A and B are shown apart, each in its own frame.
Chain A
Amino acid sequence: MRDAIRLALVVAAKDARAELRSKTALLSATVFGALVLVIFNFARDPTALSATDLAPSALWVTFAFAAMIAMNRAFTVEREHGALDGLLLAPVPRGALFAGKLLANLAFVGIVEAVALPLFILFFNLDLSRVFWGIVGTAILATVGFVAVGTVFGAMTVRTRFAELLLPVLLLPFMVPPLVGAVQVTSRLLADRPLSEMLGWLRILAAYDVVFVTVAALVFSSVVDE
């Protein structure tokens, strides 16, 4: 078990080092996220729709698409020069490989969300001081599940010619449940609703995480091997 954790950390550290050097995924996802927020901000008619009504959807659409860009990169680097073969050849349990890629993807998506959230606050002119940690917690809860699914689909599509196109097509339907839940919780947080009104959605998000992280870990081996 300790060896599997060590190997997962080696894989995650490799991804982090490569990304920090190239900054390809982080830069493109962050710029994309900022652009989406700018468009939402200027497309909104403030007399017809209040900021708090639009904000939850805008935030989660931004997170979702920016996350997809970040995740697309995770397996693209493995395709170049057959690097994935190097990982598969090594005596690394597939579970550890999945955990490493998941950790790296969570870090990338987390960074993108961490950059997008202040921009969201700025553009929508919202005071999130009372609900900030609630939104952060919701983001963590929603992100873990769809990043786990994205990690599996990334591995599945990496050997295809249209990986960049296939990943969003496969992943988007699986992102709907956590996105709906996250939007519902966020809108209640912004409207100062009591926790009891959010508990149902939070349970759904937690259940999604447990189910899909487990399923993703179990099926990863069969999708990553030729």
Chain B
Amino acid sequence: MPSSDGTILHAVGLQRSFGSLRVLRGLDVQVRSGEALVIVGANGAGKTTLLRLLAGLARPSAGEVRVLGARVEPSAPDARRPIGFVSHQSMLYDDLTVAENVTLAARLYGLADPVGAARRALGAVELGDRAEERPARLSRGLLQRASIARALVHDPRLLLLDEPFTGLDGPAAARLTVLLEERLAAGVALVLVTHHLDEAWTLATRVAVLAAGRWALEEPRAGDLAEFLPRYHALANA
């Protein structure tokens, strides 16, 4: 259940180091139901590391992540249930068909009708006609759509998206935007890391710039992208 103020994701004091390299230096993240936090930053700023911490795929060196009030950690499988994650990698098995991959995800989430849920998720990304193909035979864009279907199959309350527009052509990117807008309207919280700000801008309710493991800026989206871009470049390259 979201808290009384609708908070779905709440992370406090997140730090992550790899040896002597401090990638994240104490980040707080709060995302409420129906909010989309779009995170931008230069390469190596720590965006992907942050998403992996939020998804529970990596342990923070310090700080904690809570989703719907439950602390996300390896020993708490149910805390991960509301999370859907689209990664750089497809997370699909080459030896299974696309439909089998998405059905497997549905089974792992304990859905009552995994085959039906997989069919609906693949339909949502318009991949139903390629469902019986192996991932290795799909183009980069189609693979990305399969990966999105895998992340959406269990109707997550929190969607973490790492460069979701990568490889998508114009119509597919527009379709994904509509899909995400529908999820937002349904109360899903969204954290989106991207370099494709033109596609993500319309989705964003808040934007944040990550630079050297810290928030260089974190504010509600306001104005046009054209006004934001010079500020972003100045902060990202500072």
Q: Which residues of A contact B (CB under 8 A)?
A: 3, 6-7, 10-11, 14, 17-19, 21-22, 77, 80-83, 85-94, 221, 225-226
Least Cβ–Cβ distance between B66 and chain A, in angstroms? 16
Least Cβ–Cβ distance between B48 and chain A, in angstroms? 11
Which residues from A are CB-within-8-Å of B55? 89
Least Cβ–Cβ distance between A181 and chain B, in angstroms? 34
Q: Which residues of B contact A (CB under 8 A)?
A: 52, 55-59, 74-75, 77-78, 80-81, 83, 85, 87-96, 100, 104-105, 107-110, 135, 150
Which residues from B are CB-within-8-Å of A82? 87-91
Contact A89 B96 (CB under 8 A): no
Q: With A and B bound together, what is the CA distance between A225 and B83 in angstroms?
A: 17
Also in contact, A90 and B105, with CB within 8 A (given A18-B95, A85-B57, A221-B74): yes
Beyond A21-B96, A83-B92, A90-B108: 13 further Cβ-contacts under 8 Å? A7-B108, A10-B104, A14-B96, A19-B95, A77-B95, A81-B135, A82-B87, A87-B108, A88-B74, A89-B55, A91-B80, A94-B75, A221-B74
11 sample A-B contacts, Cβ–Cβ < 8 Å, listed by A number: A11-B108, A17-B95, A17-B96, A19-B95, A81-B94, A83-B92, A86-B91, A91-B80, A94-B74, A225-B58, A226-B58
Which residues from A are CB-within-8-Å of B90? 81-82
Contact B52 A226 (CB under 8 A): yes
Query: Which of chain A's residues has its CB closest to B104's CB?
Result: A14
Contact A85 B77 (CB under 8 A): no
Least Cβ–Cβ distance between A2 and chain B, in angstroms? 11
Which residues from B are CB-within-8-Å of A94? 74-75
Which residues from A are CB-within-8-Å of B91? 81-83, 85-86, 89
Least Cβ–Cβ distance between B134 and chain A, in angstroms? 9
Contact A226 B150 (CB under 8 A): no
Q: With A and B bound together, what is the CA distance between A107 and B155 in angstroms?
A: 34
Contact A226 B77 (CB under 8 A): no
Also in contact, A86 and B109, with CB within 8 A (given A17-B100, A92-B77): no
Contact B80 A90 (CB under 8 A): yes
Also in contact, A91 and B94, with CB within 8 A (given A82-B87, A221-B74): no
Also in contact, A225 and B74, with CB within 8 A (given A91-B81, A92-B108): yes
Least Cβ–Cβ distance between B107 and chain A, in angstroms? 5
Least Cβ–Cβ distance between A82 and chain B, in angstroms? 3
Q: With A and B bound together, what is the CA distance between A83 and B92 in angstroms?
A: 6
Contact A86 B105 (CB under 8 A): yes
Query: Which of chain A's residues has its CB closest to B55's CB?
Result: A89
Contact B77 A89 (CB under 8 A): no
Which residues from B are CB-within-8-Å of A18? 93, 95-96
Q: With A and B bound together, what is the CA distance between A87 and B150 in angstroms?
A: 12
Contact B89 A81 (CB under 8 A): yes
Query: Which of chain B's residues has its CB closest to A79's CB?
Result: B89
Query: Which of chain A's residues has its CB closest to B94's CB?
Result: A80
Contact A91 B89 (CB under 8 A): no
Contact B77 A10 (CB under 8 A): no
CB < 8 Å neighbour of B57 from A7, A19, A77, A89: A89
Which residues from A are CB-within-8-Å of B88? 82
Q: With A and B bound together, what is the CA distance between A225 and B110 in angstroms?
A: 22
CB < 8 Å neighbour of B110 from A19, A83, A91, A226: A91
Q: With A and B bound together, what is the CA distance between A22 and B94 in angstroms?
A: 9
Contact B107 A10 (CB under 8 A): yes
Q: With A and B bound together, what is the CA distance between A3 and B111 in angstroms?
A: 12
Which residues from A are CB-within-8-Å of B77? 90-93
Least Cβ–Cβ distance between B13 and chain A, in angstroms? 19
Q: With A and B bound together, what is the CA distance between A19 and B94 in angstroms?
A: 11
Least Cβ–Cβ distance between B28 and chain A, in angstroms? 22
Query: Which of chain A's residues has its CB closest to B56's CB?
Result: A89
Also in contact, A225 and B59, with CB within 8 A (given A77-B95, A81-B92, A82-B91): yes
Q: With A and B bound together, what is the CA distance between A7 and B104 in angstroms?
A: 10
Contact A90 B57 (CB under 8 A): no
Contact B108 A85 (CB under 8 A): no
Kindly list the 9 A-B residue pairs having the minimum CB-CB distance in the complex, ordered from nearest: A82-B89, A86-B91, A90-B108, A18-B95, A91-B77, A226-B58, A91-B81, A225-B74, A22-B95
Q: With A and B bound together, what is the CA distance between A150 and B81 in angstroms?
A: 29
CB < 8 Å neighbour of B93 from A80, A85, A88: A80
Q: With A and B bound together, what is the CA distance between A21 and B135 in angstroms?
A: 14
